[in-house]
Amino acid sequence: MNSFEQLPRQSNESQESHEEPVEYLYHRVPDNLVGDTLYPLNELRETHPDVYELAKSKYEGREEITEKTIPIGDSTWNDALQFTTVHPHKIKEALLAAGAQLSSTEWYQIPVSLLKPDHAVIGFYSGDSMENFKPVSEESLKESATLPETTKQYYREQLANGERPFLFHGIPHIFYKGSILLKDCTKITV
């Protein structure tokens, strides 16, 4: 199977999901991007060691997450790129509603069709940890495109306590073991 256009459907009627097929994934434009390719962190260590050092700093204080096993071959969190199906505008709206002061940010809008399904998996949160992984399908992509209420609550609590929330806490992640050429992606500002 070479594209997501041929994905199997999965039934999961108990979960809220979107009616429309998910066409895009989103990845925040890295501040330290070099070149025209998005690389997983561990691959970045080999291709651009200086950029790797800067990029890994976003996991400071929670380094254990970088070694979490992801069910794509023999992979860890840092062996895969992470995307969201939740449109960045929805994330920004939730943060603003929670009281955050935000400026505009740039995101890559990545066609789902660019990914190889057998190199991808969706991770869903259970409480504060990501333990539930599902194969990528049209239905699981739809299910992952809804911003969880628990994430909105987390934003409110963190901001009320004067803390900076982690942007993707509680939001399903699409893990992709591979790199992405950016020439086929659109940059959007939210």
pLDDT, position 129: 67
Cβ-proximal residues to 155 (8 Å cutoff; 6+ apart), any chain: 94, 95, 97, 98, 100, 165
Query: What pLDDT, on the 0 to 100 scale, is given for residue 17?
Result: 45
Question: Which residues have C-beta within 8 Å of that of residue 148, sequence separation ≥ 6?
Answer: 125, 170, 171, 172
Residue 127 pLDDT class (50, 70, 90 cuts): low
- Express each pLDDT in 77-109 by its tens digit: 889 999 999 999 999 999 999 999 999 999 999
Share above pLDDT 90 across residues of the chain, in percent, rounded to a whole number = 56
Angle between helix 88-97 and helix 149-160 axes, rounded to 10 deg: 40
Q: Is the pTM of this model over 0.85?
A: no
Mean confidence (pLDDT) of the chain: 85
- 2 φ, ψ to 5°? -105, -15
Q: Tell me which of 42-46, 119-123, 155-159 is least confident.
A: 42-46
Higher pLDDT, 18 or 23: 23
Locate the domains of the chain by residue range.
Answer: 4-189
